[in-house]
């Protein structure tokens, strides 16, 4: 994962708007901006500990807002199936906040008194009273300004108590929202389709952030659902047997603490999970990123294919890494230097009669280096063992008799069910490209039916991917003339050369198709296997 090590920076002094736009925003990395809201009227006027609730109640009055109500409180899940949106007079919500604050004050006074029987009785009564407070209500994303919708913002009257953060300059905002809770609250893990500046007016929040590349460990909900920007993993008692990748999700997450006055820049696409203390009030600003604003709709199909292709390529690399195929390993026996290698390779090519290669008693086996001999012996053994596992002895003697062609109806294509147990693919990967060329030339000259069986019937999709990657490495090291001669020798081992090419291509495409399915599951929340 490329951006898992990106560190969130904390700015004790607010950067200038130009610096934010040129140095912070384009990097798409979160940043903590201290003191961002301390100059706002709201910073002092809304403070619940300093008469802020009375001010808000008088300012807004009985205007009806849409509140989130959830039976899973203090956890509030964003998908529609886990909560309700209900109309609620703002003054009623403020009354609930006042009641909770009063009970907290009363409870603290009881703690300060002597622990007499009477105070213990009052202490138990306070706990019951606290439970009676409807803590399942949360004012989440209540609009103060909304340019995307025609209807009136529910709390538009509060707009004059807050200021446009200087770092945002003259940006065109999509909306400004109020977030307010009377009791501790936890929001479910999600991302936003906009850049987000979360500003704390009072109280405190703790935010855990994950880069978009961490999507596989967060199991985003299906892209076709109404809550596609939310994680499927529960915050409390997550089922790791059902979401195994989520167990290591915190390896990719970073946690920040926000006090009153602080702001947090959350770039679009970054997953975040927010914990709020009692009586926390926050304002957030949303705006479209430059990237999304500049994307032309008629290019969407192209961008979709390009991004999918890049994710598929990365997924294929990761699958090979899981198989221990992270990088080519050199064989134990030291290979000859380049001059000796090229001389031997050219000599082997020149010594072959392409027209009647199968019946010629060549000396290529004697010219192989010890490392190549070991690989040749291992591949021949693996092919014979793999074919014999799916056939009786009689068909085996026919199918890999190196003087008779292998027909497709004599042995079925053997696909390794467990990708971690693919000795053929592993053997191909562990060999240096030049050595593998020697091995294939020797097989084409001496064991053509075995080479044919390897490609047509034994090579798994992983093996086909590995083989083509080895071909690419060979091409980079060989001269064009030698490269062409090699493929002429290699494919001359097959009675039907197009069938060999198609078999390799089909295997490679099957491996790519599985990577595509993995990408849909990890990043789009769509599992085609279920």
Q: Which two tokens stand for residue 164?
A: 């446009």
Q: Which two tokens stand for residue 94?
A: 């403020």
Whether pTM > 0.85 for this model: the answer is no
- The pairing of strands 185-187 and 75-76 is parallel
Are 275 and 154 part of one and the same domain?
A: yes
Are 170 and 241 part of one and the same domain?
A: yes
Are 237 and 303 part of one and the same domain?
A: no
pLDDT tens digit string along 62-100?
Answer: 899 998 888 888 888 887 777 788 899 999 999 999 988
Q: Is residue 376 part of a domain?
A: no
Taken in order 145, 255, 189, 30, is the CA torsion positive or negative? Answer: positive
What DSSP letter does each residue of 292-336 carry, written as one string? HHH--GGGHHHHHHHHHHHHHHHHHHHHHHHTT-SS----SSPPP
The CATH number that applies at residue 216 is 2.60.120.10
Q: Which two tokens stand for residue 87?
A: 């109309």
Q: Is residue 94 part of a domain?
A: yes
Predicted confidence band of residue 210 (pLDDT cuts 50, 70, 90): very high
Q: Is residue 91 part of a domain?
A: yes
- Provide the pLDDT for residue 109: 67
Q: Is residue 426 part of a domain?
A: yes
Helix (H, G, I), strand (E, B), or coil: what is residue 182?
coil
Phi-psi category of residue 287: left, alpha or beta, with phi > 0 → left and psi -120 to 50 → alpha:
beta
Predicted confidence band of residue 116 (pLDDT cuts 50, 70, 90): very low
- Provide the pLDDT for residue 125: 35
Instruction: Give the domain extent around 16.
Output: 9-110+133-293
- Provide the pLDDT for residue 493: 95
Q: Is residue 363 part of a domain?
A: no
Work out the average pLDDT over 274-286: 96
pLDDT tens digit string along 347-402?
Answer: 445 444 444 443 343 446 767 889 999 999 999 999 998 877 665 434 433 344 55
The residue assigned the tokens 């009375």 is 54
What DSSP letter does each residue of 24-79 carry, written as one string? IGGGT--EEETTSSTTSHHHHHT-GGGTHHHHHHHHHTT-EEEEEE-TTTTEE--S
């Amino acid at each position: 994962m490329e951006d898992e090590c990106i560190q969130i920076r904390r700015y004790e002094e607010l950067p200038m708007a130009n610096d934010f736009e040129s140095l912070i925003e384009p990097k798409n990395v979160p940043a903590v901006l201290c003191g961002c809201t301390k100059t706002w009227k709201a910073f002092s006027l809304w403070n619940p500990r300093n008469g802020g609730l009375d001010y808000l109640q008088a300012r807004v009055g009985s205007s009806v807002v849409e509140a989130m109500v959830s039976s899973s409180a203090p956890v509030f899940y964003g998908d529609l199936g886990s909560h309700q949106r209900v109309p609620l007079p703002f003054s009623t919500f403020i009354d609930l906040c006042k009641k909770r604050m009063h009970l907290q004050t009363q409870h603290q006074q009881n703690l300060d008194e002597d622990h007499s029987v009477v105070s213990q009785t009052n202490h138990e009564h306070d706990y019951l009273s606290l439970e009676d407070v409807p803590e399942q209500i949360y004012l989440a994303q209540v609009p103060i300004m909304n340019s995307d919708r025609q209807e009136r913002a529910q709390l538009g009257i509060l707009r004059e108590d807050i200021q446009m953060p200087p770092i945002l300059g003259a940006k065109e905002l999509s909306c400004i929202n109020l977030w307010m809770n009377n009791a501790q609250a936890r929001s479910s893990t999600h991302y936003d389709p906009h850049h987000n500046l979360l500003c704390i007016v009072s109280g405190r929040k703790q935010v855990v952030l994950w880069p978009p590349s961490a999507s596989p460990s967060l199991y985003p909900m299906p892209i076709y659902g109404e809550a596609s920007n939310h994680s499927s993993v529960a915050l409390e008692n997550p089922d790791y047997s059902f979401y195994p990748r989520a167990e290591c999700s915190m390896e990719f997450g970073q946690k920040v603490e926000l006090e009153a006055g602080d702001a947090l820049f959350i770039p679009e696409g970054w997953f975040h999970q927010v914990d709020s203390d009692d009586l926390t009030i926050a304002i957030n600003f949303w705006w479209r990123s430059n990237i999304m604003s500049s994307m032309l709709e008629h290019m969407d199909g192209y961008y979709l294919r390009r991004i999918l292709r890049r994710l598929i390529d990365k997924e294929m690399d990761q699958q090979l890494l899981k198989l221990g195929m992270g990088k080519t390993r050199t064989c134990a026996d030291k290979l000859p230097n380049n001059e000796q290698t090229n001389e031997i390779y050219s000599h082997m090519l020149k010594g072959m009669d392409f027209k009647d290669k199968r019946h010629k008693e060549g000396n290529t086996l004697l010219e192989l280096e010890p490392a190549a001999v070991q690989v040749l012996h291992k591949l021949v053994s693996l092919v014979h063992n793999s074919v014999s596992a799916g056939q009786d002895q009689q068909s085996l003697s026919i199918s890999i008799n190196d003087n008779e062609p292998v027909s497709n109806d004599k042995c079925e294509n053997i696909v390794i069910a467990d990708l971690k147990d693919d000795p053929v693919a592993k053997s191909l990967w562990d060999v240096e490209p030049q050595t593998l060329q020697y091995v294939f030339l020797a097989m084409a000259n001496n064991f053509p039916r075995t080479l044919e069986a390897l490609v047509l019937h034994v090579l798994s999709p992983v093996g086909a991917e590995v083989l083509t990657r080895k071909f690419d490495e060979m091409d980079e090291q060989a001269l064009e003339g030698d490269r062409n001669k090699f493929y002429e020798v290699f494919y001359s081992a097959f009675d039907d050369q197009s069938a060999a090419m198609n078999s390799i291509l089909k295997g490679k495409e099957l491996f790519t198709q599985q990577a595509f399915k993995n990408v849909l599951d990890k990043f789009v929340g769509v599992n085609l296997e279920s």
